[in-house]
Structure 1
Amino acid sequence: MWNGIFPLFQEHYQLIAPDFRGHGKSSRPMKGYHIEDMANDIFLLLQQLEIPNCHVIGSSLGAEVGVCLASKYPDFVLSLTCEGALYNEFGEYGIFNGSIEEIEDEKSKIKLILEKRKLNTYSSLEEFISSERAIFDKHGIWNSHVHQFLSSCAERLIDGSYVSHYKNEVRIEYIQKYWEVKFEEYYKKVVCPVLFMVSEEESNNEKIRNSLTYFRSLIPLSEINQTKGSIHAYVWMQKPDDAGNVAFKFIQKYYSI
């Protein structure tokens, strides 16, 4: 998903774009899908690569892990670009709020839906991409970057067929851990500059605006960008030049090359 912005950054920075556990070609343990587990994975990887510090650009889950990384290792993360981690799932700063009983009831309903998900099997990579393409066509953002992204989301099985790399057990384990995350507890410990990249839909959501206002109040230095027509998690493929330049200029503003 990052291929569209690589050209802008690669002349100035060493780029590392790892797959989180349970994603892509990384290992898929049955447990350990809290964002803190993933943040620790990334920290250990960068230590192994002898990276002394870094700028983090995260999208969706990547933003969640980035916030955790920046809070746990404040001297390690120089800046954080968050296209995600704008709100909690439940509670005062969540999309769904209510009594303890109402929240637990909502979780049970979602869990039933998650457990019913079935992974389709495809005879070829082309068939997999053609099927997954529908959601991108719906938003009118089909391009070479999306095609490359979908190619990376397919797993070839021993019999030659293809399925999504994102397995049900991984998805359920991550989502149930995510329900308990309170991002305010992480933002309280973030000391680096933070850029929040907000989609058009998120910008129009009052609950998200309120949670983001509170999260920003916990950070010493933050900025907001809302790219016109942007879609959450897709903007890096949808508008790579626009999104990439916003992130690049933000980093340059505080850390000139």
Structure 2
Amino acid sequence: MLNLILLHGALGHSKIFEPLKEELSKYFTIYTPLFSGHGTSGLPQDGISIEKYTIELKEFIEKNNLHNVYIFGHSMGGYAALCYALEYPEKLNSVMTLGTKFNWTEEQALKESTMLNSDIIAEKVPKYAALLEAQHGEKWKELLHSIAGLMVSLGKNPPLKDKLSMINVPIQIMVGDKDNMVTLEESTEVYRSLPNARLAVLPDTKHPMDKVRPNLLLEVMKDFWNLSE
């Protein structure tokens, strides 16, 4: 049995993968875990970090006794997936990332984190604030603050820096050509740093997962996995 783990991004939710699950379930048993602090899961008292989310992924795979594991990670989920691949390559068949930001500097992280101000979001983007509350409950403002801290931590000490060449499992790096958070240049640089990787640029595609055309993404996925009906 082939197992596929779909990992959401920061402030995301596993529900975002619903448009993909019916087709992917023809080939895999699908798992859509939530990182702590997201959905109905509580925020850890000691905070959140990429390192913590990597451990949560490890524990999820162990708890479910998963073998023949494939991972698709959107945004931050892709970063956690590659951190896991660095530590436990023997557990994985391959990893795909989409819209994952790798070029985290302290300056960039501080810039991104300042955008996660709950009062400004509630005032300027009320629809997004309502979505965050619907997905994560009353703690959505706390989650924003925690994710801002995660970004700053990434900027100060990016765990994948200078370690990409050590990841030997097959990787596909994907980025949308209209992604306003992740550049084609940084995605290409990461692709070239990985010893066993492919690069795919999705046309007319923005960063949010709900802006990605499912049929386009599914075709790229199937091509990487060499799947056919």
TM-score interval w.r.t. the shorter chain?
0.7 to 0.9
Distance in 1 between residues matched to 2:214 and 2:133, nearest whole Å = 18
Q: In structure 1, give the amino acid aligned to 2:169.
A: C
Distance in 2 between residues matched to 1:3 and 1:181, nearest whole Å = 31
Measure how far apart 1:116 and its partner are: 4.7
The TM-score normalised by the length of structure 2 is 0.76
Measure how far apart 1:77 and its partner are: 1.7
**Residues 197 and 152 of structure 1, relative CA distance in 2, 3 Å threshold:** farther
**Residues 164 and 34 of structure 1, relative CA distance in 2, 3 Å threshold:** closer
Measure how far apart 1:133 and its partner are: 8.8
1:233 paired to 2:212? no
- Superposition RMSD on alpha carbons, in Å? 3.4
The secondary structure found in structure 2 opposite 1:167 is helix
Aligned residues, how many? 211
Q: In structure 2, give the amino acid aligned to 1:9.
A: L
Partner in structure 2 of residue 10 of structure 1: 25
Distance in 2 between residues matched to 1:186 and 1:178, nearest whole Å = 14
Which of 163, 166, 172 is residue 148 of structure 2 equivalent to? 172
**Residues 116 and 241 of structure 1, relative CA distance in 2, 3 Å threshold:** closer
Distance in 2 between residues matched to 1:52 and 1:89, nearest whole Å = 31
User: Is this contact kept in 1: 2:110–2:151, CA < 8 A?
Assistant: no
User: Is this contact kept in 2: 1:64–1:84, CA < 8 A?
Assistant: no
Measure how far apart 1:187 and its partner are: 1.8
1:214 paired to 2:196? no
The secondary structure found in structure 2 opposite 1:225 is strand
User: Is this contact kept in 2: 1:54–1:76, CA < 8 A?
Assistant: yes
Flag structure 2 segments of 5+ consecutive residues without an equivalent.
1-15
Distance in 1 between residues matched to 2:213 and 2:55, nearest whole Å = 30
Work out the percentage of aligned pairs sharing the same amino acid: 17
1:189 paired to 2:163? no
Distance in 2 between residues matched to 1:133 and 1:117, nearest whole Å = 8
Distance in 2 between residues matched to 1:110 and 1:224, nearest whole Å = 25
The TM-score normalised by the length of structure 1 is 0.69
Measure how far apart 1:152 and its partner are: 5.8
Partner in structure 1 of residue 176 of structure 2: 199
Partner in structure 2 of residue 38 of structure 1: 53
Measure how far apart 1:214 and its partner are: 2.9
Report which of the two structures shows the higher radius of gyration computed on alpha carbons. 1
Distance in 2 between residues matched to 1:237 and 1:115, nearest whole Å = 20
**Residues 7 and 107 of structure 1, relative CA distance in 2, 3 Å threshold:** closer
Distance in 2 between residues matched to 1:108 and 1:2, nearest whole Å = 29
User: Is this contact kept in 2: 1:30–1:169, CA < 8 A?
Assistant: no
